[in-house]
Structure 1
Amino acid sequence: MLADVTALALIAVSVRFALAVHDAIMLLAGPGRKVQTAGDDLAAGLEGAGDAASRVPLVGGFLKKPLQSAADAGTGISDAGQSLTDLVGRVAALTALGLITTSVAVVLALWLPPRLRWIRRSGITRRLLDAPGGSDLLALRALTGPMGDLAAVPAPPGGLADAWRRGDRQVISDLSGVALRRAGLRP
């Protein structure tokens, strides 16, 4: 369970980090938004000036043309600012997606194979316990494993191995419980 919680925590941390990187990159879009706003304001002001100049008798049409051309240039500046903002947004999204994908893939590559092995091994152990004579085999496995785990089993006269050979049900049950705990399962 600790490995599962650790894997989930690492994935959560990597997602939060990727979102923080996304937000940091999006700060670079600020100048693009300012250029877009300045271009829009310039275009609107020059169009207004062109409209006002067009009302001047006799020369209004001549005055409006250069002001309209300048307004079109302001629109071009605004479009460039919008393009910059869009580009920064795409880079931020792709960077965050790449960070999330990479970190989740690494965590899964490190966590999933041992987890799948444990699931397979615990399934086999449970089926063995349910099979006829399975608790005897698990007790034998406990006897052949590390000795430190056997300290929790009360030793009858003659020792644990002798009690197992005699078929002592309590000792076999206690030893199979040791084997289950070693496998990460509850007896």
Structure 2
Amino acid sequence: MKLYADTPVRASLQLISDLFALVWVVVWVHAALTLREVILSLNRPGELMSSTGEGFTEHMSTAAENVRQVPLAGEALATPFVNLSETGATLGEAGDSFQETVASLAVTLPMLVAVLPLFLIAATWLPMRARWIGRATDTRRLNRLAPEARTRLLALRALTSASATRLLRVHDDPAGAWQGNDRAAVAGLAALELRSLGLRQGTTRAKRS
């Protein structure tokens, strides 16, 4: 697999783009994890509400049971404690609901923070790099062919991928020159394809021997 170009400038640009993509991913993943920790830290009030509500309910329920033992007026005296016990239960439920909301936000918001930037890099940098690696790797595999066959295939790829302006700089009729096996034009087209990938013709020939 060919990961980087042979020419220093193209290889440097590719390396810089790879490093930028790596830093981009690390920064946004770290930002998402940091945001998650910040959101989870907000869970403390909910925990306090839940524990306070549970403790308050337990104490009021115990007090109500004790007051009920008072002869004659026990049930009447227990009513306020029962009401307070229900209030504690409501507070505990509110705390539980708060914790569930925080937990949901701790998943949703960091995911949005991370997924959108990662999708951006996956939709731009990744296809470009994958396309270049595929073309460069296929080009290197052409070294197994005879020099003339390799040159003609490279020239054919240039005809299908290069712009008309660049093709016309090689020959006034590049397609006709390729069909007529004009050696100079075919070699020029092959060189054009190699230059577009940042590969050196001398390197590909050396690898065959």
| TM-score (norm. length: structure 1) | 0.69
Note the residue ranges of structure 2 that are not aligned, 5 or more in a row: 4-14, 155-186
CA contact (8 A) 1:142 1:176 kept: no
Deviations 1:132-177 (A, max 9, x none): 116973886559987xx9xxxxxxxxxxxxxxxxxxxxxxxx8421
Answering whether residue 78 of structure 2 is matched by residue 78 of structure 1, we say no
After TM superposition, the structure 1 = structure 2 runs for residues 1-187 of structure 1, keeping only pairs within 5 Å, are: 2=15, 3-133=17-147, 137=151, 141=190, 175-177=201-203
Alpha-carbon distance between aligned partners in 2 of 1:38 and 1:129, rounded to the nearest angstrom: 76
Alpha-carbon distance between aligned partners in 1 of 2:148 and 2:138, rounded to the nearest angstrom: 11
- Aligned positions, number: 155
Q: 1:10 to 1:92 in 2, by over 3 A?
A: same
Alpha-carbon distance between aligned partners in 1 of 2:148 and 2:93, rounded to the nearest angstrom: 75
Give structure 1 regions of 4+ aligned residues with deviation exceeding 6 angstroms. 143-146
- Calculate the aligned-residue CA RMSD, in Å: 3.1
Task: State the identity as a percent.
Answer: 28
Alpha-carbon distance between aligned partners in 1 of 2:70 and 2:145, rounded to the nearest angstrom: 103
Residue of structure 2 equivalent to 1:167: none
Alpha-carbon distance between aligned partners in 1 of 2:98 and 2:92, rounded to the nearest angstrom: 10
**Higher RCO (C-alpha 8 Å, min separation 6):** 2
Shift of 1:110: 2.4
Alpha-carbon distance between aligned partners in 2 of 1:58 and 1:70, rounded to the nearest angstrom: 21
Deviations 1:55-76 (A, max 9, x none): 2122222222221121011101
Shift of 1:43: 1.0
Alpha-carbon distance between aligned partners in 2 of 1:144 and 1:94, rounded to the nearest angstrom: 47
Residue range with higher mean Cα deviation, 136-145 or 112-121: 136-145
SS at match of 1:37: helix
